[in-house]
Amino acid sequence: MFGLLTVIFSSCITNKSNTYLQEDKSLPQYKKTPYTYYQIQKNDELAIRVLSLNDEITAIFTGGGVSATAPSYRVYEDGTIDIPFISNIYVEGLTVRQAAKVVEEKLHDFVPDAVVKLGLANDCFYVIGEAGRGQFPLYKEKLNIFQALSLSGNLAQNADKKHVKIIRKVCDSGRPIVKEFDLRTASIIDSEYYYILPNDVIYVSTIKGDFFKISNYNMAIGSISTTLSFLLLVLGFF
């Protein structure tokens, strides 16, 4: 009897409503949204490597040989970058691939065989709250929310999966916006919240008003079990 009651209370406390990727239609249902590639913004740092048969040209863009680290170029407030040979290349609002093509075409006037490799030097995201904290690399183009959280150490047991927030800077306005979503619904896979973009900040708060802080589950179960044992013992005398 005691063991059964412990299992029952344990089940109540762990609460299946915290399970990921549920097909429950009572949970938020997000509309399907196509993947949007990151658009370069003001103050981004672009790492640009230029390859050429001319070793001197290659050295200018790498600081010394093919194996050297590519230098980065900040996107100015007017949306442009300056690189050797060319100034005022407008890149704001372009994807990384589009920007690489623009830079390469402009360089062909000076370096006909130039091949441009361009990437974000600030290609990372941030996590705060009950999912750990820190800065983490976007090691691939389509990093999803679950992969991102696993990098930070996953969610704490008392993390609020219902109200996860992403702070994301929008290229059009240049202002950050806050997007809130529910990790428990399976529809998140097709939503705008599924993939992490450069400079995203993921914030996971603690469950509000939750008496059973999950970090204290064992303590809570122990207290409940002790109380029930005492009550059963008392009732056994009547």
Q: Is the pLDDT of residue 85 over 80?
A: yes
Q: Are 203 and 140 in the same domain?
A: yes
The pLDDT of residue 219 is 46
The pLDDT of residue 68 is 57
The pLDDT of residue 172 is 73
The pLDDT of residue 28 is 94
pTM of the model: 0.77
Q: Is the pLDDT of residue 124 over 90?
A: yes
The pLDDT of residue 5 is 46
Q: Are 170 and 210 in the same domain?
A: yes
Q: Is the pLDDT of residue 180 over 80?
A: yes
* Least confident interval from 5-19, 30-44, 196-210, 222-236: 222-236
SS3 content of the chain, % helix, strand, coil (to 5): 30, 25, 45
Q: Are 78 and 140 in the same domain?
A: no
Q: Are 205 and 173 in the same domain?
A: yes
**Where residue 21 sits, what CATH number does that domain have?**
3.10.560.10
Rounded-to-integer distance, Cα 111 and Cα 54, Å: 9
* Full DSSP string of 16-56: GGG-SSB--TTS--PPP---------TT-EEEEEEE-S-HH
Closest by CA position to 132, among listed 118, 113, 151: 151
> Please, are residues 137 and 124 in contact by the beta-carbon 8 Å criterion?
yes
Q: Are 112 and 144 in the same domain?
A: no
| Average pLDDT of the residues in 186-205 | 95
The answer to whether residue 169 sits within a structural domain is yes
Which residues of 96-192 form beta strands (DSSP E)? 115-120, 124-129, 134-137, 164-169, 176-181
Across all residues in the chain, what is the average pLDDT?
83
Look up the domain containing 18 and give its range. 2-37+123-214
The answer to whether residue 221 sits within a structural domain is no
Q: Are 33 and 128 in the same domain?
A: yes
Rounded-to-integer distance, Cα 224 and Cα 13, Å: 11
The pLDDT of residue 231 is 43
Q: What is the pLDDT of residues 136-177, one digit of tens each?
A: 999 999 999 999 999 998 788 899 999 999 999 887 777 899
Domains contained in the chain, number: 2
